[in-house]
Structure 1
Amino acid sequence: MRTMRGWLHDTAGGLPRTFWYLWTGTLINRLGSFVIIFLAIYLTQERNFSASQAGLVLGLWGVGGAAGTTIGGTLADRWGRRPTLLTAHLGATSMMLALGFARDLWSVALGALLLGLFAEAARPAFGAMMIDVVPDKDRLRAFSLNYWAINLGFACAAVLAGFATEAGYLLLFVVNAATTLTTALIIFVKVSETRKPLVTAAGRPTAPPRALRTILADRVYLGFVALNLFAALVFLQHISMLPIAMGDSGLSPATYGSVIALNGVLIVVGQLFVPRLIKNRSRSHVLALSAVVLGVGFGLTAFAETAWFYGLTVLIWTLGEMLNSPSNATLIAELSPSELRGRYQGVFSLSWQVAGATAPVLGGVVRERAGDDILWLGCALIGGLVAAAHLISGPTRERRVTALRAANQSVQPAAVGGRRAAEAEEAVTTAPAESLPTGSAESTAAGRGQ
């Protein structure tokens, strides 16, 4: 009993109250995240779109998301995290319902574009708020907990949505809209703004840097974002091409729901143990291993015909995903200047949106012109190349983290009165270097958190 209590305290103890409100909103939202899971099947089977048309709609979702993350990141830094989150969630709720009632190709495409814009505009603000309220030393487990909530909801949603389709696809859109609205209400009632002006150690306000110039000059960060883009091109095939491949194998939408739910189940069972597993490992090695495992899992899909084999491939690439997410999330936090957290989060999220726009289109074109085998084996090749790139670029990234940590220690949140402000200041103050887990002599160890 004492061992279990100790494990629970080490895993979830001592995190700020605001984090748990955000965590709860994440869980509720993901419990109803039916639409994106079944959108490819909905488009091809319910709306009778071709694979290329379905890829176009999913691609426009990604285009809208790319615009949304860019706008959301800027608003999070300038307008504030809380108003950006509220606006994005309310807009996504409205567009979710509109997409459910759309019928012809172009109205569906427009609905997907606008839904992607609003839904993904929340991502940079959410990530920045998480970094604001969680101290450095707790971020690895905080992002793991949030990623765990995402996948607990995803696992439940995948199974429930498979059966809910029997009552009609419109129900998926309605439930998804309701859970998004519930998350907005939690933020409105329980979450306060976390963005604080920064001042120097001498108490003088810092001049805000030119965000675009700073980001474009940060080649280390942009290189990291580029690697994530290629990994995302592989990973997002599970939403676009995997359900179509399973349908070609004669498997039902309910079977796809059950198979893809294995992804969430494995993460729910094992993700909370991952921080301890990778705590003293080099992040470059962890990210490289995750890319290899991800590539192997998707590559084996070329040989799958039965539900159990598809399930095996899902379990394999899920292991790669579990290693990737917390390492990615903490590394992003440490590579982001304090005053540009929202926009740095937006740029990283942009890599996912670019992948979301191009992965289904590229997957559909490769599948139709070269066949399934080339598609899935190509995914394995990309995974191997990304792994090699992480090993090469890792030491440079860690030197950048060390330099940025030293720079961040020269600024602090502007002082405001009250106990609540003191807690907020403590949450964003950089932790001592020795409190962070170390990898090798050259590197310091840092999800899909959304």
Structure 2
Amino acid sequence: MKTLFKKYLNTFKGLSQEIWWLALITLINRAGTMVIPFLSLYLKEDLSFSVSDVGWVMSAFGLGSVAGSWLGGKLTDTLGYYKVMVRSLLLTGFLFIALQFLHTFVSICIGIFVVMLVADSFRPAMFVALNAYSKPENKIRSLTLIRLAINLGFSAGPAIGGLIITGLSYDGLFWVDGITCILATIVMVNVLHPKKAKVLDDVKNENPVSAYSDKAFLVFLVAMTLFGIVFLQYFSTITIYYKDVHFLSELEIGILLGLNGFLIFIFEMPLIKWLENTKYTKLGLMFYGIVLTGLSLFILNLTNWSGVLVIGMLLMTFGEMVAFPFSNAFAVERAKKGNQGEYMALYSISFSIAHIFGHNAGLQMTAHLGFDNTWFIITGIAAICALILFGLNKNLKTQKSIKIWKTKKIS
């Protein structure tokens, strides 16, 4: 047991101090995003919105995310990642607090759009900061540590969120969300000043390649959008499914969602370190992760036993653990060819587009087709995503082989 624990700790060795500070800031920030998994329930239960209206609000959420990711990328390339991160975190805190005072359909749509516009401008800046503060050989593990912070926050967040709803009502979530964003800003300003930080991996390119001309990257983004549509069902449709079909309480839903973050905190870093040393490519590993995520929804139709919810959460969790770190690493690797902000903005936008269509499509399908048909359709989307990644991986392997052959021939 002692040896196993020591090996677990060794997976964290070699990461820079700045990466640990980024992880702490992300943990504080994400622990406060407990309102997001409960947003569809809040709109349906507390504000009495119809499922269809909830779907359109979630589309406004996605549109704000797209605009924020694009704006964040532009501002990162012009102002720098630090200024974008600080301003985004601080403004998001105040906007989350203000959001609870909106109650009409139109005002909620506008409010959600503005919150996500500001909040998601943080993401491209954070990815560029991570790339700058991480040694090249530690890139994937640095990304994984940030994800650990995100998921540790998410594991505590929903569980605490369920308690807050039970004790203080939904309004308490918005206060906690806002305050934690402000706290994250205070921590960042005090511990991660850019003048004190030592950039470990300067990847500025004097002749940058436009991300829009990188065909392989664009195909990858299509796959990531489809994967986002599948994955995001766990942040809107699935919570209503848990409540309406399996009659779980908000506290039980929070604990089940918290299981996801807890398992990632325990297993992801050792799993990623092991997978890094296998023969599989990043895209190849993402293929398996997406297959597992699709299966997590497919099995919900196989039985009415509530225990299947735990099995589904386990499949999704391990699928997420494999797919996300290597998709992040693939995007960061491609970003070295051009403007990092532009590449990482497009990577963030792929998930933001998923927010536009994923939540709304899932909720509209459940309202008109029922949950069983919805899970079959979403599983089909996961299968299409997996096939795209399989083809892209094969194509890039072929291109690499041809390039090596031509180099050998010239020499």
Question: What TM-score comes out, normalization by structure 2 length?
Answer: 0.90
Deviation of the 1:396 alpha carbon: 3.8
Decide whether aligned partners of structure 1 residues 391 and 199 sit closer, same or farther in structure 2, where only a CA change above 3 A counts.
Answer: closer
Matches within 5 A, 1:5-154: 7-8=7-8, 10-154=10-154
Decide whether aligned partners of structure 1 residues 101 and 27 sit closer, same or farther in structure 2, where only a CA change above 3 A counts.
Answer: same
Structure 1 distance, partners of 2:16, 2:321, is 24
The alignment partner of 1:86 has SS state of helix
1:241 and 2:222 correspond: no
Partner of 1:172: 173
Decide whether aligned partners of structure 1 residues 238 and 304 sit closer, same or farther in structure 2, where only a CA change above 3 A counts.
Answer: farther
Structure 1 distance, partners of 2:46, 2:386, is 39
Deviation of the 1:44 alpha carbon: 0.3
Q: Check whether the contact 1:228–1:351 (CA below 8 A) recurs between aligned residues.
A: yes
Q: Check whether the contact 2:205–2:338 (CA below 8 A) recurs between aligned residues.
A: no
Decide whether aligned partners of structure 1 residues 98 and 400 sit closer, same or farther in structure 2, where only a CA change above 3 A counts.
Answer: farther
Q: Check whether the contact 1:77–1:340 (CA below 8 A) recurs between aligned residues.
A: yes
1:354 and 2:353 correspond: yes
Partner of 1:282: 281
Q: Check whether the contact 1:231–1:383 (CA below 8 A) recurs between aligned residues.
A: yes
The alignment partner of 2:121 has SS state of helix
Structure 2 distance, partners of 1:2, 1:292, is 34
Structure 2 distance, partners of 1:29, 1:397, is 37
Instruction: Give the partner amino acid of 2:251.
Output: A
Structure 1 distance, partners of 2:125, 2:265, is 25
Decide whether aligned partners of structure 1 residues 177 and 307 sit closer, same or farther in structure 2, where only a CA change above 3 A counts.
Answer: farther
Partner of 2:408: none
Q: Check whether the contact 1:34–1:176 (CA below 8 A) recurs between aligned residues.
A: yes
Aligned residues: 396
Matches within 5 A, 1:177-326: 177-193=178-194, 207=206, 209=208, 214-249=210-245, 250-279=247-276, 280=278, 281-303=280-302, 305-326=304-325
Q: Check whether the contact 1:227–1:389 (CA below 8 A) recurs between aligned residues.
A: yes
Gaps of 5+ in 2: 404-411
Query: Deviation string for 1:379-434 (max 9, x for gaps)?
Result: 22222222222121114446789999xxxxxxxxxxxxxxxxxxxxxxxxxxxxxx
The answer to which of 22-31 and 250-259 deviates more is 250-259
The alignment partner of 1:102 has SS state of coil
RMSD: 2.5
The alignment partner of 1:73 has SS state of helix
Decide whether aligned partners of structure 1 residues 274 and 136 sit closer, same or farther in structure 2, where only a CA change above 3 A counts.
Answer: same
The alignment partner of 1:386 has SS state of helix
Deviation of the 1:251 alpha carbon: 2.3
The alignment partner of 1:356 has SS state of helix
Q: Check whether the contact 2:75–2:84 (CA below 8 A) recurs between aligned residues.
A: yes
Q: Check whether the contact 1:291–1:320 (CA below 8 A) recurs between aligned residues.
A: yes
Instruction: Give the partner amino acid of 1:127.
Output: F
Decide whether aligned partners of structure 1 residues 152 and 401 sit closer, same or farther in structure 2, where only a CA change above 3 A counts.
Answer: farther
Instruction: Give the partner amino acid of 1:277.
Output: W
Structure 2 distance, partners of 1:28, 1:403, is 47
Partner of 1:440: none
Structure 2 distance, partners of 1:40, 1:361, is 10
Instruction: Give the partner amino acid of 1:318.
Output: T
Structure 2 distance, partners of 1:325, 1:28, is 21
Instruction: Give the partner amino acid of 1:268.
Output: F
Structure 2 distance, partners of 1:380, 1:359, is 13
Decide whether aligned partners of structure 1 residues 392 and 199 sit closer, same or farther in structure 2, where only a CA change above 3 A counts.
Answer: closer
Deviation of the 1:181 alpha carbon: 0.9
Structure 2 distance, partners of 1:217, 1:135, is 27
Q: Check whether the contact 1:82–1:187 (CA below 8 A) recurs between aligned residues.
A: no
Decide whether aligned partners of structure 1 residues 199 and 401 sit closer, same or farther in structure 2, where only a CA change above 3 A counts.
Answer: farther
The alignment partner of 2:147 has SS state of helix
Name the % identity.
24
Partner of 1:430: none
Query: Deviation string for 1:126-178 (max 9, x for gaps)?
Result: 00110111012101111111111111111111111111102111111111111
Deviation of the 1:207 alpha carbon: 4.7
1:342 and 2:341 correspond: yes
Decide whether aligned partners of structure 1 residues 60 and 220 sit closer, same or farther in structure 2, where only a CA change above 3 A counts.
Answer: same
1:363 and 2:359 correspond: no
Q: Check whether the contact 1:129–1:195 (CA below 8 A) recurs between aligned residues.
A: no
Decide whether aligned partners of structure 1 residues 206 and 303 sit closer, same or farther in structure 2, where only a CA change above 3 A counts.
Answer: closer
Q: Check whether the contact 2:205–2:337 (CA below 8 A) recurs between aligned residues.
A: no
Instruction: Give the partner amino acid of 1:187.
Output: M
Structure 2 distance, partners of 1:191, 1:401, is 39
Decide whether aligned partners of structure 1 residues 156 and 199 sit closer, same or farther in structure 2, where only a CA change above 3 A counts.
Answer: closer
Deviation of the 1:57 alpha carbon: 1.1
Query: Deviation string for 1:321-369 (max 9, x for gaps)?
Result: 1111111111111111365111111001001111011111111222222
The alignment partner of 1:236 has SS state of helix
Structure 2 distance, partners of 1:207, 1:284, is 28
